[in-house]
Structures are given as structure tokens and as C-alpha cells.
């Protein structure tokens, strides 16, 4: 059922619906050329057999643009592309804007402590879907973390083994228990995933002790270099809220590959 929009539902209605459901999709809009303003909604591969809804007014154009939009969506990119009237390459009669809406990145926080509450707050500001996990029932409650999307009572390593295959480069795991009995198995499980960031809280002394324990259970140097331990950037944080800022700043800097040095001390473009 390509190119059909549900009856009586406008494209904007569908966009709102899909945003609320946190679905991944691309909104394609013709921004230049004869069909200016025409729109289609393109879904990722394998979404119940529906490739796209709506139409740009030409079935060949629809086919080519939806294919390209799916590629942009997979990469999480938004931008303009040019085509001929029937989707020809190397022509510029029709310009479309592909706007990718992707599921929010995940932040898994291991350990239900005061720092967790602050990190949940800051993480929500940045748009993360947040799960808090702790094996201790009395600490891991939704009352303590009302902003978290999910609070799960379970051994953290077991939870990571269960949901770890959904982790990707945009996602983060923050291990805040600073208790070796929870930390070490959680780190080992997190290292087995493709998660982009693994941060582990603890003093220098805790860190040294943890490194030794991790070597003992067979974590190699490559695994060690993936760990951000002690967690966070060195901005002199003391309170849970300040610490949360230093953690998310480190997550951002790791994703962008930037230096974390004050811009006043560096030269060159501020945005890549």
C-alpha cells in the first residue's frame, strides 16, 4: 500500500501521531520545483511492508526519493536533495527536503543513587529515553525517579544482556553504583554491546581497584579504552547536578570527537 494516506488524516496529523509514538520516519517536502509543498512520509526498511505514505505527485519521483530518504533516515541525517521531475539523478528541477525523525537515544543508568536522579533530569533535557536499573528494590522506584521512562529492578548485567542488542553509537550507559559487585558484571555486559558511551563512577582508588578486577575477569585493553572511568569531564563538579552536567558533556564530546577544551583556548570553527 504505497503512496496511500489514511482517510481524513492530514500529513501533519500523521507526523504528530508518529512523533507521539516515537516512531522513526522521514518527512519529505518538495521545497523547489513544480510540485512545491507536496509531501510524503517514508518509513525505515521492514516496517510492516509500508514504504511510504503520501505522494510527491509522480510515481517515479516517489520511488526514487523514498529510496534515498530511507538511506538518510538510516543515517539520521536531514538535508536537501535534487532530482529531475521523474526522479532523474544529476538534475535540479525538483529539490526536496528530507527531515529525519529518529527514535531518541537511550541512556541506561545503573544504580539508583542521588547522582542518578540528577542525571535523569539532565538527560531528559537532552532528549534521552532513560532507563534506571538497580537490583535493590527499595531504591529503584518510580517515586524516586519520576522523570525516568522506566525504572527496573534487576541485576544490571542481566538487563544489559537482555536489551543490549538495541544499543548503538548514539546511546550511553552510565554505571553509578561504585560497588564492584554490581559494576564489574555490568561493565562486562556493556562492553559486549555496540553502545557508544560507557561511563563508570568512582574515586581514583575505586577506579584502580576496578581496573584490576576487570583484568581478572578477562577484559582486554581494547575494552578498557572504551571505558570512561572515572566518569565525566574535569570541571570540578561537586553536587549531583554538577556531576550530571560533567557526564553529559563528556557524552556529547565523545560523540562529536571534540576536545572538551574551552573555546576561548582554541581556534577554528565552533560547529563542524
Q: Which residues bind another protein (CB under 8 A)?
A: 10-12, 15-16, 19, 27, 29, 31-32, 36-37, 39, 78-80, 97, 99-101, 269-271
**195 close to 167: Cβ distance less than 8 angstroms:** yes
Q: Which is nearer to another protein, 20 or 143 (CB)?
A: 20
Task: Judge residue 151's burial from the number of C-beta atoms within 10 Å of its C-beta, 0-12 exposed, 13-18 middle, 19 or more buried.
Answer: buried
Q: Minimum CB separation from another protein for residue 83, in Å?
A: 15
Cell of 253: 564530546
Integer Cα distance of 242 and 36 in angstroms: 48
Q: Which is nearer to another protein, 22 or 114 (CB)?
A: 22
Q: Minimum CB separation from another protein for residue 16, in Å?
A: 5
Q: Minimum CB separation from another protein for residue 120, in Å?
A: 20
**Rounded (to 5) percent helix, strand, coil in the chain:** 35, 20, 45
Contact residues for 268 (Cβ-Cβ < 8 A; gap 6+)? none
Integer Cα distance of 219 and 125 in angstroms: 34
Q: Where are the alpha helices (DSSP H) in 127-179?
A: 156-163
Q: Minimum CB separation from another protein for residue 104, in Å?
A: 10
Q: Minimum CB separation from another protein for residue 247, in Å?
A: 23
Q: Minimum CB separation from another protein for residue 270, in Å?
A: 6
Q: Which is nearer to another protein, 31 or 89 (CB)?
A: 31
Angle of helix 204-216 versus helix 180-191 axis, rounded to 10: 60
Q: What's the length of the chain? A: 272
Q: Which is nearer to another protein, 98 or 117 (CB)?
A: 98
Q: Minimum CB separation from another protein for residue 52, in Å?
A: 15
Task: Residue 34: name the closest of 99, 71, 83, 103 by CA.
Answer: 83
Q: Which is nearer to another protein, 5 or 141 (CB)?
A: 5
Q: Which is nearer to another protein, 138 or 270 (CB)?
A: 270
Cell of 248: 553529559
Q: Which is nearer to another protein, 50 or 80 (CB)?
A: 80
Integer Cα distance of 226 and 254 in angstroms: 11
**112 close to 151: Cβ distance less than 8 angstroms:** yes
Amino acid at each position: 500500500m504505497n503512496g496511500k494516506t489514511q482517510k481524513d488524516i492530514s500529513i501533519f496529523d500523521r507526523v504528530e501521531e508518529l512523533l507521539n509514538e516515537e516512531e522513526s520516519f522521514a518527512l519529505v517536502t518538495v521545497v523547489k520545483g513544480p510540485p512545491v509543498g507536496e509531501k510524503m512520509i517514508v518509513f525505515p526498511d521492514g516496517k510492516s511492508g509500508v514504504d511510504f505514505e503520501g505522494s510527491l505527485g509522480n510515481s517515479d519521483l516517489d520511488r526514487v526519493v523514498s529510496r534515498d530518504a530511507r538511506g538518510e533516515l538510516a543515517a539520521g541525517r536531514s538535508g536537501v536533495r535534487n532530482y529531475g521531475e521523474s526522479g532523474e539523478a544529476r538534475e535540479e528541477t525538483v529539490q526536496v527536503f528530507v527531515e529525519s525523525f529518529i527514535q531518541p537515544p537511550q541512556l541506561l543508568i545503573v544504580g539508583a543513587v542521588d547522582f542518578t536522579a540528577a542525571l535523569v533530569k539532565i538527560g531528559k533535557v537532552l532528549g534521552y529515553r532513560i532507563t534506571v536499573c538497580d537490583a535493590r528494590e527499595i531504591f529503584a522506584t518510580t517515586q524516586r525517579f519520576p522523570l525516568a521512562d522506566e525504572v527496573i529492578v534487576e541485576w544490571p548485567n542481566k538487563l544489559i544482556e537482555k536489551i543490549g542488542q538495541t544499543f548503538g553509537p548514539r546511546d550511553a550507559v552510565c554505571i553509578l553504583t561504585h560497588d564492584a559487585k554490581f559494576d564489574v558484571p555490568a561493565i562486562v555486559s556493556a562492553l559486549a554491546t555496540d553502545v557508544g558511551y560507557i561511563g563508570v563512577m568512582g574515586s581514583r582508588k575505586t577506579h584502580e581497584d576496578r581496573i584490576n578486577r576487570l583484568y581478572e575477569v578477562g577484559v582486554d585493553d581494547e575494552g578498557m579504552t572504551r571505558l570512561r572511568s572515572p566518569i565525566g569531564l574535569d570541571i570540578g563538579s561537586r553536587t549531583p547536578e554538577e556531576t550530571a552536567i560533567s557526564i553529559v558533556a563528556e557524552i556529547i564530546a565523545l560523540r562529536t570527537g571534540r576536545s572538551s577544551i574551552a573555546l576561548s583556548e582554541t581556534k577554528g570553527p565552533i560547529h563542524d
